[in-house]
């Protein structure tokens, strides 16, 4: 198991075993036991700088004192937690405060327990207000994983296993005004609402072209279609404004909030609406047992107070730190154009788009596996793993944009912490630019011998197998240089057996060579849609003829299978 988990850990056994296995493989199976501000500490005492902030749900970092004080005050007053149906004191106060700071015209607040639930409420509200069944959404968007919100999420990989999208959802390209206008001209009378993110978060931190939101507002108003803006991730200070839609002065009919509203301690969501969208059918027939609870609403009030105090000084701080990070990341993009395709975002909602694919093979040369890792959507998870394990920096890929690493620190992040994060990112980008597969994956295999241990007998403890004989220097050096990095020196290279075993164990077996193909060189890296390797007379040498090999077919060996069983393992993988 990895350094942060144990075979009997209850999360791995009872909560999500497949995710636990993936986290262990990427050495991201940390057990964090303490958090303060932007810092986390694991159970071994190591400190990490957190630039994920739980996808924007930790606006003030871990354990913010003002939010805790508000929660303790609830206990001290003896305030009742859930008292439906009645006039809810905390919910009423929070709703009033939200209406005060929201775009003008949003007058009613429906509380929920999460962002996905807020989207569900918005969809129900718009359908009941218009009497129309259909919802128009954007490709590559993300609105949650409940069935209705998932149906509005433009990512088939998340929808197909659950029978989504359900009937009544259509999609248009994000940022394309012409496509949106065409869809509304053809079927505008059938749509209850258009739902958009001001900035697509899980889609890869995609900022729409200037004027897109304003054009969407004008088109929906012309066709009598309600506009829902999903500010769950972009709202409440994340972009340097209270709401991202303020950048273009757009006022939606419905706006959804969550994540930062709970101050990082209590889950809460909200659906704000104007007079056109809010209606009696929705108000009297939609409810939630725990929505509007005292604890969550008091946390929300404290969070809004923090965001708006001192004439919005925290928002100005977000803008300054956002400029610092954007300038630093754009400098890296100019220095390594074949690694970073684009840096996108606004404020402290940023994304680094790594462009390391088939077209980058010539730039890297024949001795690296980075292009195939990128095409198998493995590169950004490995980069995130490296930054966590080696640099002590927590980042994460976006869900839909598999080539994008998100940069979303707490809003209270300091200038020094931003400098530290930029330095760590620069070091890993430099490794990718050099094609250093060995350095990028060394941490994944350095502490583990993949061989099994001898079976215990008579109640004795398992006895490790004797050390593996050290391979000849020439063979070891050749394997490392050919497979991991053309520039690595033998002294700094990772163990070739472990390095290549991990990579090949992670690549889907459907892309391995078929029996009898016997390729000696590759002209194309495998993709998720290919089922075999393509041999060519030029390119990276992969499989090679073993000296003194035997019969045809079994005399080809793969350096990913170490030691004396290499030829047999390679032969078995073809059968």
Catalytic residue among 230, 253, 389, 438: 230
Q: What pLDDT digit, counting tens, does each position of 559-572 carry?
A: 443 444 443 433 33
In terms of Cα–Cα distance, which of 348, 328, 367 is closest to 542? Answer: 367
The answer to whether 244 touches 238, Cβ cutoff 8 Å, is: yes
pLDDT of 60 strictly over 50? yes
Is 14 known to be catalytic?
no
Catalytic residue among 60, 111, 142, 354: 142
**What is the Cα–Cα distance from 253 to 223, expressed in whole angstroms?**
14
| CA distance to 438, 445, 483, 484, 496, per residue, from 490 (Å) | 11, 17, 12, 11, 10
Residue 247 has phi, psi (to 5 degrees) of: -60, -35
Cα 548–chain centre separation: 49
Q: What pLDDT digit, counting tens, does each position of 374-402 carry?
A: 888 889 999 999 999 999 999 999 987 78
User: What is the pLDDT averaged over residues 148-162?
Assistant: 93
pLDDT at residue number 377: 84
CA dihedral sign, ordered 372, 382, 319, 194:
positive
Please state the pTM of the whole predicted model.
0.79
**What is the Cα–Cα distance from 499 to 495, expressed in whole angstroms?**
6
Is 361 known to be catalytic?
no
Least confident of 153-162, 268-277, 419-428, 508-517: 508-517
Tell me if the bond preceding 271 is cis, omega within 30° of 0. Answer: no
Longest Cα–Cα distance of the chain, Å, equals: 86
pLDDT of 500 strictly over 60? no
Q: What pLDDT digit, counting tens, does each position of 182-205 carry?
A: 999 999 999 999 999 999 999 999
Both structure tokens of 219 = 């088109």
Write the CB contacts of 322 (distance below 8 Å, at least 6 apart in sequence).
239, 240, 345, 346, 347, 348, 350
DSSP codes, 25-91: HTT----EEEEEBTEEEETT--EEEESSHHHHT-TT-BS-HHHHHHHHHHHHHT--S---SS--HHH
**What is the Cα–Cα distance from 443 to 499, expressed in whole angstroms?**
9
End-to-end CA distance of the chain: 30
Residue 155 has phi, psi (to 5 degrees) of: -145, 95
Ordered alpha helix ranges (H), 249-337: 280-285, 294-335
| CA distance to 71, 97, 294, 510, per residue, from 299 (Å) | 7, 13, 9, 50
Q: What pLDDT digit, counting tens, does each position of 444-490 carry?
A: 885 544 333 333 333 344 444 445 454 554 444 444 333 444 444 44
Q: What pLDDT digit, counting tens, does each position of 265-311 carry?
A: 999 999 999 999 999 999 999 999 999 999 999 999 999 999 999 99
Is 259 known to be catalytic?
yes
pLDDT at residue number 237: 98
Mean pLDDT of the chain: 82
């Amino acid at each position: 198991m990895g350094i942060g988990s144990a075979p009997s850990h209850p999360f791995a056994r009872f909560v999500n075993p497949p995710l636990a296995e993936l986290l262990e493989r990427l050495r991201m199976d940390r057990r964090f036991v303490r958090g303060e501000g932007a810092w986390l500490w694991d159970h071994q005492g190591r400190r990490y700088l957190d630039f994920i902030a739980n996808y924007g749900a930790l606006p003030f970092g871990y354990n913010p004192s003002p939010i805790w004080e508000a929660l303790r005050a609830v206990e001290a007053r003896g305030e009742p937690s859930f008292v439906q149906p009645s006039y809810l004191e905390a919910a009423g106060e929070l709703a009033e405060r939200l209406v005060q700071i929201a775009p003008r015209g949003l007058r009613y607040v429906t509380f929920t327990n999460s962002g996905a639930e807020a989207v569900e409420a918005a969809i129900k509200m718009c359908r009941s207000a218009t009497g129309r069944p259909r919802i128009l959404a954007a490709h590559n968007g993300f609105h949650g994983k409940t069935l209705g919100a998932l149906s509005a999420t433009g990512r088939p990989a998340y929808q197909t296993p659950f029978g989504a999208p359900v009937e009544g959802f259509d999609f248009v390209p994000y940022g394309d005004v012409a496509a949106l206008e065409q869809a509304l001209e053809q079927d505008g009378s059938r749509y209850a609402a258009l739902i958009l993110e001001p900035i697509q978060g899980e889609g890869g931190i995609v900022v729409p072209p200037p004027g897109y939101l304003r054009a969407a507002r004008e088109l929906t108003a012309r066709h009598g279609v309600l506009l829902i803006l999903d500010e769950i991730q972009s709202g409440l200070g994340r972009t340097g404004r209270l709401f991202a839609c303020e950048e273009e002065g757009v006022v939606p009919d419905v706006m959804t909030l969550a994540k930062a509203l709970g101050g990082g301690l209590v889950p809460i969501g909200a659906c704000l609406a104007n007079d056109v969208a809010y209606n009696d059918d929705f108000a009297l027939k939609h409810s939630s047992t725990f929505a509007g609870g005292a604890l969550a609403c008091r946390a929300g009030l404290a969070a809004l107070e923090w965001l708006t105090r001192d004439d919005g000084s925290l928002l100005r701080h977000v803008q300054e730190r956002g400029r610092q990070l954007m300038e630093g990341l754009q400098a890296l993009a100019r220095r390594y154009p074949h690694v970073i395709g684009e840096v996108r975002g606004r404020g402290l909602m940023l994304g680094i788009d790594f462009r390391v694919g088939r077209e980058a093979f010539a730039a890297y040369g024949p001795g690296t596996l980075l292009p195939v890792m990128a095409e198998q959507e493995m590169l950004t998870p490995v980069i995130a793993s490296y930054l966590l394990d080696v640099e002590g920096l927590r980042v994460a890929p976006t869900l839909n944009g598999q080539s994008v690493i998100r940069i979303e620190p707490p809003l209270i992040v300091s200038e020094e912490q931003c400098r530290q994060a930029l330095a760590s990112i620069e070091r890993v980008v430099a490794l990718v630019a050099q094609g250093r597969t060995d350095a990028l994956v060394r941490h994944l295999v350095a502490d583990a011998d993949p061989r099994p241990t001898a079976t215990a007998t008579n109640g004795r403890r398992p006895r490790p197998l004797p050390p593996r004989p050290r391979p000849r220097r020439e063979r070891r050096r050749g394997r490392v240089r050919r497979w991991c990095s053309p520039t690595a020196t033998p002294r700094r290279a990772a163990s070739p057996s472990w390095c290549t075993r991990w990579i090949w164990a992670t690549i889907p077996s459907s892309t391995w060579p078929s029996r009898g193909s016997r390729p000696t060189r590759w002209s194309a890296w495998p993709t998720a849609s290919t089922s075999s390797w393509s041999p060519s007379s030029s390119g990276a040498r992969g499989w090679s003829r073993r000296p003194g090999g035997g019969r045809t077919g079994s005399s080809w060996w793969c350096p990913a299978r170490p030691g004396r069983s290499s030829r047999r393992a390679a032969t078995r993988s073809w059968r």
